[in-house]
Structure 1
């Protein structure tokens, strides 16, 4: 019987064992009714209370705890999902560039700390429900930081690293009737932790959900959906669906938009792969402005024609392409008005739970209400729900792979160490693990229309390995582009990225680059660093992006939310803790707080006002004779909004009127007369033209202001004096005469 060997955790070439193939994220159901209700008899969620033991290193961990005869009933309880550091074990540690063990132990790239490297031992007892018994059973961990070994009923099942990818194992041969003992050992730092040097709090533990899945006789193992268009004709599309199936039978594929059925077809399945395509005429096109989604329902039937499995996939018909050195969405030049977003909660860190989904939804709504149209998932795969919400609400995504080795090349650039210490560079021992990570990123999220760009990672220098990762993704997917900013620091393989991507360049720098030949589209994957009283001069970037056919196509603010954690002080009072407040060393202190929303309650900071105004899609300029409207939207007319004029005198509202006929097509300009007469009363008179939602949406109520423009139309110093003719009064015997 195979056994787990902890010595391999130090080996960069050992990063997984007995892990099932990565696949798209979807849920399976045993019937149409289960599919409609979202409750599956083929799945069992293991979230909740687990038994737990903590050790500061591997030699201190309890040996043999995974064995069936080892009694763990007296152990502590811990929540899953959760970080152990948020449950009273170890402490959160915020570090930016430096590695978290720097100054503690002398550790070379690929090695792991020995004296302090917390080990978390988990145990979960479970019984399979009747609906899952007698079938093959898989287990999937959606996120474990950073490495884990797995046992069931005392038998070693497998091992995996990569904190932010989902990993599945086959438990079938290890299951027993009645109660089963699931044991997991989680290591805070593995050799792969050298690839996870992101600017964030360092945690560990099972921080995303754990699922058991029963596999019916015919089972959809993987699903790939593409919407294809020929040339610039968007009235005809082909829906291409690739299925990877276990078992023989048939599949019925049905495409619907709302209640309207577009088609329903049945195909034979013989196990393995199957390719299905169907023409779709005049599809509603998906964009952030109008996130039109279709529902693809897939029903699997066995050889006898019995329905055994149902699943579904949201489909957005859209075409993203690089044409004449410009990024186009559905034939239009796109501008990213984006933000980088860490997955973070001041209550649970990066752990996912019920309330964190509410926080996630709040983020999406806040972004939409403030004209943010794009997210870069800095710098790893986020939870599934983010991608689903971006599809539904309409947010473009740069989906970033879990890779950052900033601490290895930063000291090289500083001249402290030679290039031999830089990771991954061209080191052969790191290639397999990085290819696996990029493959996992692609496979899980390949069906989301919101994902327009794959990002290889963040701040990991350059080299042939990253080039080969890019080439691998291009082989998988010709409907998206590949992004990698790191070639700026190591330009040996510029073809690694399809996009010229920089961080924190000035507008002057961008203009100078564009003047050199405008070879490919340019974005700022990080800009307008949002720490303290910042985000000033953001308008200079948005004005550049607004220039006709400009090669600069927007950027992503660093970053969306303050990374701060609720903590009690010594008097029992709660406060927002930043780096260093937990006594951790090394640390980068309050550099964890650089968001445009506050970490405590996710409310927008005052900086968000500037972001909302600069990112608005409708520009209004007040002139002496009227107002000019520039509709920068790609697909939406101003007819979608109410246009309201407001007149303020010395800051006080004196007139408000809804205007009719302010109709400006997408990507168009128009002039309109002043809606009010020129004021004559003393004071400063300002005209505001406001565009507001006509109807409720899923992200804002009717009347929400999406854009405005304001300008002074008159300043009246005083009431003009008139020439007065003197008059005289004459008194008579019976009357008075007045002249003048």
Structure 2
């Protein structure tokens, strides 16, 4: 497409998506000397235009400054804006978050390709520059790496070009319009264009020049496009490398190529000539090191472009990894081995800069992935910055590279499939703009070994246009596979994808597919919707890996919370979600789905992900460990086996030893451990694999795999359920039954029970009061995002009421010489059959055994939790646990938790999810102490062999329930103690209706009993 006079009609013309834009090409770097190329020096042939630009903002085209691009227009009175950056995060307009609906839904009655007119913000940018001397006298081009969503470009008053597609480069030739000295570059950016119908991703809706901008020049002989293919022979051992070069001109050139290994040694050479602007070279590399996520071995392809006199004109060093990815016998194979994607979907995101992310952000992300056994990323749902692919090549991460296409709102309305005006569908007029996005991605990214799969976009239904895109990918790059999930909704276009890909299919749905003669391998391109407190039941998916060969993994949704830093009315910063900027329409907090928080702090959910995603499994027993090496290629030579023995959570022995277990092999390794047969107690054998040497992504000693074995050694002649010896009754132990209260006193303690309040109202040790609010039965938890998705509050809200209001129907007292038992019976209005009782047995030694009996009632919805809850003064703020941890865990998310002792402040125990909700629970609680700064407080001990679940928090379930943001929570006045027989799991198959799996729910009619003992906690000697 070409044109000289820009037109606003282009914004809504589906046939116009580029004007004078250069053709897409590879993202290789080039230099004047090979020395610069080999050390990847800053490119002297490139000049950054990042930084301050002059800027004017308009709410729509009618309000914009129309002639700002002219040389005589003076912009000195304009404000400044940072490039790269989003307009809406720099004080202009407001960010808006929307998921599936188009952001103008209900505001503008438009259908594609029409666009909103009044609701289409415009950013006018101006930058003055001089061409630097080190760029020489050659042609000058400009590269915009990312502009959302459409841009017009002028130089010195002359129209240069126009482009759509927010996430691939837009490049133009500036040479005809350059002048000596200062040049005026003007860019007009529109938030909406026809392409916006194709950019309905689940993300914040921004606009502006949000990726880097730079000038570049090229030498007289220049490789315009480079295609490197590093393949293998049938044995996956011998490498063959080919290079296809497209020159910027047809002038003759001599091409010399060297292949160097990681040590810098030359492995192979080739030489050829460019003919008619093209050259093709190949070389046999012999036996090569293979590239994989396990060992991302990269070679350097060094290309010298020489003129007819033999003088070096251009030098290129392109990294290459030898690998083959193929579909064979219905399996996806990497270098001949069945691959398993242990993946995550990832948005480019920073809480302060949005999708304008830095190198530091990317390195932090890739280290987090590698340290937590995540081996794959889907670039949801657009091509990322080039640097991301380079890092994936270098660190070893498999990539599904996804083109910038999502038209979700055109075919799915509030979950219902209704494709009456779906785009692109079968509409031929949309083929050009969609295909352009596919070409721009493939041509830029084709040389990255980390990219195994091209994706035809996301959630755009199906149709001939996307089918043609898949055909293009296969023809242009037969060495990769093609992915598209949308065929699940319309099997007529099944050939659009080389694999069966589904979103949020439950484990049973996947099993049904795999057990019915499938013709394709299966992946979940999105699964385990990690919104808020989630990722429960992940193990059910992981277990499919060993049961079904055609199951080849999945990608968790998603990596990072998309939350933006904002300030509340008092000037305090907080992480904001949709609606917090008065943005309407919006999908509110649905942007908070990450396994890392928006500030890149790791969430407790990662504990489960890291354990279940580990390639090497450790299965300890009393004196040995079985090492199951699930790696495809790498043995354990770079790892060290470390083992520790704990008694009652305290380390009594540690050791380490070498191990050698080949990939896809297993071995049982005996361990030399001390004899514990004469020392009764609970033991944990904890086994780890740690790095012997530092890797790019972790220091030496970093733990990559973990397993534990818990066992008991009984005392000779002991019987199960034995109780500790009590102090004999003394004259100081006494019981007083008053008209309203029952008092129990002894040496150093007192307890007071109120018949009126129907509970224990005071427990003092050494004169220190432990009880701020009396214990009561609790059946409600602050709803998680997944609970809200299943309408728990609607279906099970009776448990909320039962937790707040109960009737004490009976109080009883039974005394013996060394103990007093006080029982309270409770009834609830939600069912006459529902009963609960709490029994307190105060012993002469000051310990208080608490026993709760829950007598359920059929016909009620599942109960969220069966617990006893009370409040202590907030001075009791330090905790020490012997439980499963150290991070929060739940009945359906406890595989990654380990039995350990750990300490936390109470304020550190709740997880800072975007919306306050149930968090901080621990399962397998043997004991926990809650103490003040001096070490005095309360000790909670579970009955032998009957561990509890426990949550300690500054907030009650009801305070959390009422808060939509953390700043809405009250100031801390209490430590809330909740001890549970059982809490339902958190779920995670999806967040809009998938229930917690049955085995992790609590049937209302179930009978439950549990007990624990309260004693004084004292400072350590």
Q: Indicate the larger mover: 324-333 or 66-75.
A: 66-75
- Counterpart CA distance in 2 for 1:236 and 1:28 is 28
Query: 2:260 matched to which residue of 1?
Result: 256
1:65: how far off? Answer: 0.9
Preserved CA contact (<8 Å) 1:678 1:714: no
Cα distance in 1 for partners of 2:276, 2:714 equals 81
Q: CA deviation at 1:304?
A: 2.6
Q: Distance in 2 between matches of 1:380 and 1:565?
A: 20
Segments of 5+ residues of structure 2 without an aligned counterpart are 720-1021
Aligned twin of 1:513: 513
Structure 2 counterpart of 1:398: 400
| Cα displacement string for residues 698-730 of structure 1 (whole angstroms, at most 9, x for unaligned residues) | 100111110011112433246879xxxxxxxxx
Match of 2:585 in 1: 586
Deviation at 1:269, TM superposition (A): 2.0
Match of 1:164 in 2: 167
Equivalent in 334, 339, 342 of residue 334 of structure 1 = 339
- Distance in 2 (alpha carbons) for counterparts of 1:675 and 1:367: 34
- CA deviation after TM superposition for structure 1 residue 137, in Å: 1.2
User: Which residue is 2:650 aligned to?
Assistant: 652
1:560-580 CA distance string (max 9 Å, x none): 000011112221111111111
- Which fold has the larger relative contact order, with Cα–Cα distance below 8 Å and residues 6 or more apart in sequence? 1
Provide the C-alpha distance between the structure 2 equivalents of 1:235 and 1:605, rounded to a whole number of angstroms: 41
Give, in angstroms, the shift of residue 673 of structure 1: 2.9
- Give the 5 Å matches for 1:480-559: 480-547=480-547, 550-559=549-558
Residue 13 of structure 1, CA deviation = 1.1
1:117, CA displacement in angstroms?
Answer: 0.6
Question: What SS is found at the alignment partner of 2:373?
Answer: coil
Q: TM-score, normalised by structure 1?
A: 0.94
Q: 1:669 aligns with which of 666, 689, 699?
A: 666
Residue 310 (structure 1) aligns with:
315
Correspondence for 1:735: none
- Provide the C-alpha distance between the structure 2 equivalents of 1:140 and 1:478, rounded to a whole number of angstroms: 29
SS at match of 2:105: coil
Deviates more, 1:211-220 or 1:284-293: 211-220
Q: Do the aligned partners of 1:29 and 1:39 also contact (CA within 8 Å) in 2?
A: no
Contact kept in structure 2, 1:679 and 1:714, CA below 8 Å? no
**1:51-450 pair list within 5 angstroms:** 51-231=54-234, 233-246=235-248, 247-257=251-261, 258-352=263-357, 356-411=358-413, 414=416, 419-450=419-450
Q: Deviations over 1:377-416 (max 9, x none)?
A: 000001111100000000000000000000011039737x
Find the residue that maps to 2:319 and give its secondary structure. Answer: strand
Give me the whole-angstrom Cα distance separating, in 2, the residues matched to 1:70 and 1:544: 65
Cα separation, 1, equivalents of 2:668 and 2:34 = 54
Greater Cα offset, 28-37 or 243-252: 28-37
CA contact (8 A) 2:270 2:283 kept: no
The more displaced of 522-531 and 629-638 is 629-638
- Distance across 1 between alignment mates of 2:270 and 2:428: 47
Contact 2:301 2:319 in 1 (8 A): yes
Q: Are 2:613 and 1:610 equivalent residues in the alignment?
A: no
- 1:430-464 Cα offsets, whole Å, 9 max, x none, are 10000110011111110000000000000000011
Bigger shift: 253-262 or 85-94?
253-262
Q: Deviations over 1:668-703 (max 9, x none)?
A: 122233432451212101111111111111100111
Shift of 1:645: 1.3
Cα distance change of structure 1 residues 709 and 412 upon mapping to structure 2, 3 Å threshold: closer
What displacement does 1:543 show?
1.5
Secondary structure of the structure 1 residue equivalent to 2:535 = coil
Paired position in structure 2 for 1:40: 43
The question of whether the paired residues in 2 share the 8 Å contact of 1:287 and 1:318 is answered with yes
Question: Which residue of 2 is the match for residue 13 of structure 1?
Answer: 15
TM-score by length of 2: 0.68
**Higher-Rg member (1/2):** 2
- 398-407 vs 260-269, greater mean Cα deviation: 260-269
SS at match of 2:558: coil
Quote the offset at 1:146 in angstroms.
0.4
Q: State the Cα deviation string for residues 221-265 of structure 1 (Å, max 9, x = none).
A: 00001122232x122121011000123221221211122111333
> In structure 1, what is the equivalent of residue 865 of structure 2?
none
* 3-state secondary structure, aligned to 1:471: helix
Residue 691 of structure 2 corresponds to 693
696, 704, 707: which is aligned to 1:706? 704
Maintained 8 Å contact 1:369/1:699: yes
8 Å CA contact 2:268–2:284 kept in 1: the answer is no
- 2-structure distance, mates of 1:413, 1:570: 35
SS at match of 2:201: coil
Query: CA separation in 1, counterparts of 2:185 and 2:228?
Result: 35
CA–CA separation in structure 2 for the residues paired with 1:335 and 1:477: 22
Does the CA-based 8 Å contact 1:19-1:167 persist in structure 2?
yes
Secondary structure of 2:539 counterpart = helix
User: SS at 1:638's partner residue?
Assistant: coil
Q: Which runs of 5+ in 1 are unaligned?
A: 722-740
Q: CA deviation at 1:371?
A: 0.3
Query: Residue 33 and residue 637 in structure 1: after superposition, are their counterparts in 2 closer, same or farther (change >3 A)?
Result: closer
Q: Deviations over 1:96-140 (max 9, x none)?
A: 001011111111121111112100000111111123343111111
In the other structure, the counterpart of 2:32 is 30
SS at match of 1:124: strand
What is the distance in 2 between the residues matched to 1:331 and 1:625? 36
Q: Give the structure 1 partner of residue 833 of structure 2.
A: none
Distance 1:433 1:14 in 2: 8
CA distance in 1, matches of 2:509, 2:568: 45
Distance in structure 1 (CA, Å) of the matches to 2:603 and 2:40: 38
Rounded Cα–Cα distance in structure 1 between residues aligned with 2:233 and 2:371: 35
What is the CA–CA distance in structure 2 between the aligned matches of 1:715 and 1:64, rounded to whole Å? Answer: 85
Aligned residues of 1:645 and 1:675 also touching (Cα < 8 A): no
SS at match of 1:478: coil
Give the conservation status (yes or no) of the 8 Å contact 1:217–1:302.
no
Aligned residues between the structures: 712
Secondary structure in structure 2 of the residue aligned to 1:424: coil
Check 1:532–1:167 CA distance in 2 against 1; reply closer, same or farther (3 A cut): same
